[in-house]
Structure 1
């Protein structure tokens, strides 16, 4: 098995040389691939570049399957990097963050880090107010995926997660396939299989700043969410099990609204509990990938990102806990609310809420999830 893993890594690096920029050449976003070339626990890590015929560029590292940069044109045709991240692998290793990561095994929170599968009680590893968040303290965002470049516009990231990984049962093989399309979309397809019944809920955790200037807050951006209800949380960010209407509350983005319009109205308990927006919305799309789930637009750049998904929910997080201590690309210290996350998902704590769509994956089944981030720019 070890020999197969080593060979897979060698093959991945050889193939990737045809699809990534040489180590001596900076990416369009200004990244130096040499700053990502290393080994972590004897597994090779690198930076991979996808580029389409329109000149859009997406840089991804196989450490955590992370999107590091996204270069798209603004309203004037100027290319802007619209996600937060680091310019070197050391920061990704040493500064705790979920920037751009392919999250697994379970995106979002599992209450009290406990669940029951087939009448067996399972104690997971807590890492957030006693809950298990994003797969636990060493979720997949802190592990090395095996990179499989497919073409100049497509790459697969493969995770071999052993039985009892962060106390989750089952040997799981998961694949995240990133495709950069010719209409300036990042198409992300997730698949996973297991040899024991387990839970899977994967997502992407990119922090978008569509102005292209990560010193600016995203509170002036315009947000739309195709949802009439959401799942409220308690003071530990854990879903209560309720599904409540957004109508006549600050949670209503069913019509275009500036993100910052209501964000600090902490007399509304949910905003106080979330320190802003950090909630799951129940989408109206009924799993139809062709229907718009959410959209964010930066008036400053004219850049929009549209989200399409076959998932039932989307977690919208407005960077409320960025505190200016993380030094990102271009030396920028990422401050509060300088990024927005749009995490397509099953609802938080679904393993403990049987009334919600199931996240169980059984042997012989294949978990599948699909998300598209499509970028456009309004003309001035």
Structure 2
């Protein structure tokens, strides 16, 4: 029997959620401030929140796209710098952003031909004129103005209501993401969602990291380790085929630390199609319970390190292959100026029965938790 939830029930259920996971372990109450960052075309305000953990590190997130705009972390000398790509003002984010720091959904990545089967019928999505659906459609979650709420500690909750039929996806969906910054420099995301009808859901954080803190520099010298023995291979149009291919002997082998730039220009078929790294890695171990380690990124020059821990089955590695624009502070952003490590389910899962499922039904609660853990090495 289908469970029908009202709009009020969806949002009130999510707003009542307690802080979970790493967010509750904050040993102090550093603080959150807010300011007006811009206005939507309809006049709705866009709010920017600054989360400070009391150590000098801080995180900024705005309601538009639930996007992280800044993340300031120390290096081995104790100097602080912004380690994510971004833009200077709201209008730039609204008109020029390459999903810098956004919460992508309903479905991160591609769904083949913009359609998939669900309970005996075919769901047809809005592709915006493209062959495949990408990142939830032309007006996905990254282009919506979320509702923000300051929580205890260095934390904020963002909520969004997505209508039944939004971008073609069935079911009215209420989604909540809690951003928190702990005293030990962990940036945490906790996502929960409810639906009124069966649907598919695969949200992710689309942050571009550059641990050097030098805006516009390339990430070729960053050392990356992925806790993965396989990846989801794709065809000539970058649509995954359903094959999980071994990383052994390929440019995608990051089982031991390797500079990102070592094989980024490889002539292997997967690298030529992607124009660099744009692949989903299958993370070892069971997913859906407690977060487990998925990746480690480090920058030898600054000493900054970042570990990604997640409950998700995969991590999309993307090296900003097509980025070519003026970024924050006038910095020139070129291909490979940042690296995304996006915890998520696999692309095109609704059309691949062999992949972990992304189906969400009424009465079920979607839960996902990821932590970006920062430290410094000598």
TM-score by length of 1: 0.89
Gaps of 5+ in 2: 1-5, 10-30
Corresponding position of 1:94 = 95
Moved more, 292-301 or 344-353: 292-301
Describe the superposition over 1:219-253 as per-residue Cα deviations: whole angstroms up to 9, x where unpaired: 11000000001111112211111011111111110
Q: Distance in 1 between matches of 2:368 and 2:339?
A: 21
Describe the superposition over 1:44-91 as per-residue Cα deviations: whole angstroms up to 9, x where unpaired: 211100010212100000100000000000110000100001121100
Q: Distance in 1 between matches of 2:7 and 2:193?
A: 21
Corresponding position of 2:147 = 146
Q: Distance in 1 between matches of 2:63 and 2:285?
A: 31
Offset of residue 38 of structure 1: 2.2
CA RMSD of aligned residues (A): 1.9
- Secondary structure in 2 aligned to 1:166? helix
TM-score by length of 2: 0.89
Describe the superposition over 1:4-48 as per-residue Cα deviations: whole angstroms up to 9, x where unpaired: 9xxxxxxxxxxxxx8315xxxxxxxxxxx55x1324434321110
CA distance change for structure 1 residues 173 and 249 in 2, over 3 Å: closer, same or farther?
same
Q: 2:291 touches 2:370 (CA, 8 Å); kept in 1?
A: no
Corresponding position of 1:300 = 301
Offset of residue 147 of structure 1: 0.4
Larger fraction in strand:
2
Q: Distance in 1 between matches of 2:285 and 2:88?
A: 36
Structure-to-structure mapping, 1:276-355, within 5 angstroms: 276-287=276-287, 289-323=290-324, 325=325, 327-355=326-354
Q: 1:228 touches 1:245 (CA, 8 Å); kept in 2?
A: yes
- Secondary structure in 2 aligned to 1:373? strand
Gaps of 5+ in 1: 5-17, 22-32
Offset of residue 291 of structure 1: 2.9
Q: Distance in 2 between matches of 1:2 and 1:261?
A: 50
Q: Distance in 2 between matches of 1:253 and 1:145?
A: 36
CA distance change for structure 1 residues 3 and 133 in 2, over 3 Å: closer, same or farther?
closer
Q: Distance in 2 between matches of 1:76 and 1:376?
A: 12
CA distance change for structure 1 residues 167 and 129 in 2, over 3 Å: closer, same or farther?
closer
Q: 2:151 touches 2:157 (CA, 8 Å); kept in 1?
A: yes
CA distance change for structure 1 residues 2 and 254 in 2, over 3 Å: closer, same or farther?
closer
Offset of residue 355 of structure 1: 1.1
CA distance change for structure 1 residues 366 and 70 in 2, over 3 Å: closer, same or farther?
same
